[in-house]
Amino acid sequence: MPEISLASQPEVFVSTSALSKAAGAAVARGELRKIGSRLYTRNLTDDPEQLVRRSWYFLISSYFPDALIADRTALENKPAADGSVFLVSEGTREVELPGLTFRPRKGPPATDSDRIFPGGARLSSIPRAYLENMTPSRGRGGRVSRTLNRDEIEQRLDALARQQGEPALNKLRDDARALAGPLGLDAQFEELSALIGTFLGTRDVKTQSAVGAARAAGNPFDPDRLELFEQLFSGLRDFVPSDRSTRGRSAEATANLAFYEAYFSNFIEGTEFSVDEAKEIVFEGVIPAERPEDAHDILGTFRIVSDVAEMSRLPANAEDFIDLLQERHARIMEGRPDKQPGQFKKKGNQAGNTIFVIPDLVRGTLDKGFGFVDALGEPLQRAIFMMFLVSEVHPFVDGNGRVARAMMNAELVAGGQERIIIPTAYRIDYLGALKAISQNKLADPVIRTLDLAQRYTHLIDWAQMTTAQTMLEETDAFAEGELARLKIPTDDAQP
């Protein structure tokens, strides 16, 4: 009888009686490795745990032909931290493999709503998985528990509401109701229904997670953004700002700086005027008939940032912060009533691949974020965090960058420290630093970028408009494009 070929087998496979002889001979020839119970691989070099982990879903049905992936695995769609994969099967003996343990239990078999998973096993539907996970369990001997705890379930429900809205919670509850009786999970459905009702504001049961408590209180927030805020907060705590005091600066110098602050802040957002045109708008009240809205953007920004008393106002608490943010936005964007000045967005917004905080979570996320600002002591630390908080939440339809930078500089003005301007030549560096933390959780770039921008601002002589203009030109501040590079003046540049 010819030997059965192993060439058609995957990288990692479970031997059958028909393959056992061929597999044994291949091991003897050094062509296969045995790495577990009836488990072989053609890969002779990689770590067995890595091999098993990347093939786990193809191995299930070889050991448990009737398997239904269930409990926490059905919601996490991957092995638990300790390698546990939870199943429903008639076979109840655990199978231990390198880095992986199949942990079966008896239970109702798969139904039509439980789909086929890659590899052939069935996967509990999402409503069934939630019902299964409402049964409490405990991990023993250092092992992961079979089901998620209440905190984890609440976080998943909150994520579902954030990503797909409240109708998704209602559908989940309706689908779970239809399955509960046939599966014998009526008690679990009552708990799930009460929890969903609490998230929707129609029930009132005790929640165990921060996101659950916030949603039940009607002030939900974005937990993913909270992770970014924690990352930036940690980086800022380790950052020691330089003292760049502005005490003694004349009113004229302050006005000159405020003009360029407003000019560059609008240029970043695409409101592009020449410097001379912007001066006419700000200092002479000339509103171009063909671009009145753009002119009002610059004028509105200047009126805020040139008012030292206004820029010295700091919020005492989260409620003050939100009120002040909306007030300043309303003043900056007053020339664009179609952009709903001072009102939080009612539709989601994004820039490139970054999707900002959804409307329902804006107020709660700002509230949570302000707690980090309040815990920072140095003006530059607070300023950097404030700018990122507003920018990352993006609470308004338009004008988010302008109001974020105004809120940033208010922290610096109130603390007697130099402001931060972002010249056109520094725009790509600034936006790249924001992207680094927003998408990759890297806090250092935005800290270094804004620290350097403050140093640059401090080295410009703002005493006279002509002097400032000359220094800005000499340092390529107005340069545009990917090749633009801002030149930093020497520390003795100022007279």
**Structure confidence by residue, pLDDT tens digits, 10-20:** 889 999 888 88
- Is residue 494 over pLDDT 90? no
Question: Is residue 140 in some structural domain?
Answer: no
Per-residue confidence (pLDDT) for residue 283, from 0 to 100: 92
Question: Is residue 484 in some structural domain?
Answer: no
Both 199 and 103 in one domain: the answer is: no
Per-residue confidence (pLDDT) for residue 495, from 0 to 100: 44
Both 177 and 208 in one domain: the answer is: yes
Per-residue confidence (pLDDT) for residue 341, from 0 to 100: 96
Both 175 and 263 in one domain: the answer is: no
Q: What is the pLDDT of residues 238-265, one digit of tens each?
A: 999 999 999 889 999 999 999 999 999 9
Q: How many residues are there in the chain? A: 495
- Is residue 4 over pLDDT 90? no
Do 396 and 344 form a contact (C-beta atoms < 8 A)? Answer: yes
Per-residue confidence (pLDDT) for residue 492, from 0 to 100: 53
Domain end, chosen from 124, 159, 192, is at 124
Other CB atoms within a 10 A radius of the CB of residue 139 amount to: 14
Angle between helices 427-440 and 223-237 (to 10 degrees): 120
Both 197 and 236 in one domain: the answer is: no
| Closest listed residue to residue 278, CA positions, set 254, 294, 255, 257 | 294
List beta partners, residue 102. 85, 95
Per-residue confidence (pLDDT) for residue 10, from 0 to 100: 86
Question: Is residue 307 in some structural domain?
Answer: yes
Question: Is residue 493 in some structural domain?
Answer: no
Mean pLDDT of 82-104: 95
Per-residue confidence (pLDDT) for residue 16, from 0 to 100: 87
Question: Is residue 178 in some structural domain?
Answer: yes
- % of the chain surpassing 70 pLDDT: 98
Question: Is residue 2 in some structural domain?
Answer: no
Q: What is the pLDDT of residues 352-388, one digit of tens each?
A: 888 899 999 999 999 999 999 989 999 999 999 999 9
Residue 405 tokens read as: 């930078």
As a whole number of angstroms, the distance between CA 37 and CA 84 comes to 16
Domain end, chosen from 216, 240, 270, is at 216
Both 356 and 401 in one domain: the answer is: yes
Per-residue confidence (pLDDT) for residue 2, from 0 to 100: 46
User: For the residues of 345-396, what is the DSSP string, one character each?
Assistant: -SS--EETTEE---GGGHHHHHHHHHHHHHT--SHHHHHHHHHHHHHHH--S
Helix (H/G/I), strand (E/B), else coil: 97? strand
* Whole-angstrom Cα Rg for the chain: 30
The residue behind tokens 């410097």 is: 275
- Is residue 461 over pLDDT 70? yes
Both 209 and 227 in one domain: the answer is: no
Both 344 and 359 in one domain: the answer is: yes
Question: Is residue 76 in some structural domain?
Answer: yes
Alpha carbon separation from 423 to 321, 431, 478, 485 (Å, rounded): 27, 12, 7, 10
Both 100 and 193 in one domain: the answer is: no
Contacts of 206 (CB under 8 A, 6+ apart): none
As a whole number of angstroms, the distance between CA 131 and CA 193 comes to 10
Mean pLDDT of 423-432: 96
Both 336 and 423 in one domain: the answer is: yes
Domain count, the chain: 3
- % of the chain surpassing 90 pLDDT: 83
> What does pLDDT average to over the chain?
93
Q: Which helix (H) or strand (E) holds 36?
A: strand 33-36
The residue behind tokens 């610059």 is: 298
Both 274 and 321 in one domain: the answer is: yes
Mean pLDDT of 269-286: 93
- Is residue 1 over pLDDT 70? no
Contacts of 370 (CB under 8 A, 6+ apart): 315, 317, 318, 321, 322, 389
Q: Is the entire prediction scored with pTM above 0.85?
A: no
Both 169 and 268 in one domain: the answer is: no
As a whole number of angstroms, the distance between CA 153 and CA 212 comes to 9
Both 233 and 263 in one domain: the answer is: yes
Domain end, chosen from 176, 198, 216, is at 216
Question: Is residue 322 in some structural domain?
Answer: yes
Q: What is the pLDDT of residues 323-345, one digit of tens each?
A: 999 999 999 999 999 999 999 99
| Closest listed residue to residue 76, CA positions, set 188, 136, 152, 138 | 152
Residue 142 tokens read as: 């250092």
Q: What is the pLDDT of residues 400-413, one digit of tens each?
A: 999 999 999 999 99
Per-residue confidence (pLDDT) for residue 185, from 0 to 100: 97
Alpha carbon separation from 235 to 102, 214, 392 (Å, rounded): 41, 26, 17
Mean pLDDT of 199-206: 89
As a whole number of angstroms, the distance between CA 173 and CA 470 comes to 66
Contacts of 172 (CB under 8 A, 6+ apart): 126, 127, 130, 160, 196
Residue 88 tokens read as: 């429903």
Determine the structural domain holding residue 196 and report its residue range.
150-216
- Is residue 479 over pLDDT 60? yes
Q: Which helix (H) or strand (E) holds 13?
A: strand 12-14
Mean pLDDT of 34-40: 92
